[in-house]
Amino acid sequence: MEANRSMEAYEALLTRRSVRKFQERPVADDTVEKIVTAAMHAPSAVNKQPWHFVLIDDPGLLSEIPSFHPFAKMAASAPIAILVCADPELAHGPGYIPQDCAAATQNILIAAHAMGLGAVWCGVYSQPEREAGFRRLLSLPESIVPFSLVVIGYPAEQPAQADRFQADRIHRNRW
């Protein structure tokens, strides 16, 4: 049984692809809760878990996102997106926010894929116009740092699996 679980997780990692086209079909609340639960199980520095998640399923809000995020046009036609945010007061230190929130974002992507959903990671962190856009759109407190947007839905496309293995990028013991 344990070997099968490992293979299932490994397959999910290798077969996950960014999906940018979605069916006109809502994602159930219990499924979204499972995805966010997976995000909250990501590793974080000193287990501080400095994240917050803003669930965006209002079509009006989703359709505004492309006005300030040029690479999130698909949000306008998706049933839901999750904005991963950091609370610096909860973080081990400022240098750990990107690591902690990236781990949570990756867990969202893998969990969504494992549940038959498609998703795409849209970067927000360190892009002032995107951060400001989300602050305005979602009334984020000034102390909260928007990190990433994950747009999620039932896929209307099936991107091909890619072979991304590059042996020349592996170094053992020394460069």
Render pLDDT for 89-126 as a digit per residue (tens, 0 to 9). 999 988 999 999 999 999 999 999 999 999 999 999 99
Distance of CA 117 to the CA centre of its chain: 13
What are the helix (H) ranges across 49-96?
59-64
Q: Where are the domains of the chain?
A: 27-158
DSSP assignment, residue 155? B
pLDDT reported for residue 162: 87
Q: For the domain bounded by 27-158, which CATH number is listed?
A: 3.40.109.10
Assigned token pair, 27: 């994602």
Nearest-10 crossing angle of helices 97-114, 29-40: 140
DSSP assignment, residue 159? P
Assigned token pair, 102: 């990236």
Strands 118-123 and 80-86, sheet pairing: unpaired
- Please provide the average confidence, as pLDDT, over all residues in the chain: 95
With 0.85 as the threshold, say if the pTM is over it: yes
Mean pLDDT of 34-44: 98
- Which strands form 145-153's sheet, in the order they lie side by side? 51-56, 80-86, 145-153, 118-123
Give phi and psi for 162, each to the nearest 5.
-105, 150
CB 115 within 8 A of CB 8: no
